């Protein structure tokens, strides 16, 4: 693994509402609490994280473009853009970095429009349905992927 390997953790639209509404679907943790848990796991793994959230597709695309040179891997919960955004898929493809996709909920137990994700087509792996724990598992997986680089 590169020394101080850096992982961008991207969160898409409405994930800033975590812990505020729909705890039965998305859990009761806030996004700040999720970031703190990721920070703790990253430190234990020897990773540096850059944890971000945006409601704007263009901003997410811009951050992925920057990641190409600034980060070693990307963990992404693109929220609803997972199911709609070819722009984000293109940016993730151009980044040429290992990508792990995370969803808090099990998108396959939900409405059919959530069953397809453009992000999945470029992701090395997908974790869904395990709530906030999925982010920690994604960090574990990213550490072992970067170890092999």
- Out of 5, 103, 138, 145, the only residue in the binding site for ligand CA2 (CB under 6 A) is 103
* Residue pair 92/118 in contact by the 8 Å Cβ criterion: no
- The answer to the question of residue 85 lying near ligand CA2 (CB under 6 A) is no
Look at strands 6-11 and 48-53 and give their pairing: parallel
Stretch that binds ligand CA2, among 9-17, 32-40, 64-72, 140-148 (CB under 6 A): 9-17
- Out of 47, 77, 99, 119, the only residue in the binding site for ligand CA2 (CB under 6 A) is 77
- Out of 8, 89, 107, 122, the only residue in the binding site for ligand CA2 (CB under 6 A) is 107
Stretch that binds ligand CA2, among 32-40, 58-66, 73-81, 118-126 (CB under 6 A): 73-81
Whole-number Å distance between alpha carbons of 113 and 48: 34
- Out of 15, 60, 92, 100, the only residue in the binding site for ligand CA2 (CB under 6 A) is 15
Whole-number Å distance between alpha carbons of 45 and 59: 28
- The answer to the question of residue 22 lying near ligand CA2 (CB under 6 A) is yes
- The answer to the question of residue 79 lying near ligand CA2 (CB under 6 A) is yes
Q: What is the DSSP letter of 119?
A: G
Any idea which residues carry the catalytic annotation?
Answer: 26, 103
* Residue pair 140/45 in contact by the 8 Å Cβ criterion: yes
């Amino acid at each position: 693994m590169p020394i101080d390997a850096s992982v961008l953790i991207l969160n898409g639209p409405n994930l800033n509402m975590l812990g505020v509404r729909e705890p039965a679907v998305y859990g009761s943790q806030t996004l700040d609490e999720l970031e703190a848990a990721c920070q703790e796991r990253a430190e234990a793994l020897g990773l540096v994280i850059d944890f971000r959230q945006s409601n704007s597709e263009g901003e997410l695309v811009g951050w992925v473009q920057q990641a190409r040179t600034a980060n070693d891997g990307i963990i992404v919960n693109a929220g609803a853009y997972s199911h709609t955004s070819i722009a984000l898929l293109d940016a993730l493809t151009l980044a040429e970095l290992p990508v792990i996709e995370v969803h808090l909920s099990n998108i396959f137990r939900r409405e059919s429009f959530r069953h397809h994700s453009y992000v999945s087509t470029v992701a090395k792996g997908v974790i869904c349905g395990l709530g906030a724990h999925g982010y920690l598992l994604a960090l574990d997986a990213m550490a072992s992927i970067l170890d092999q680089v």
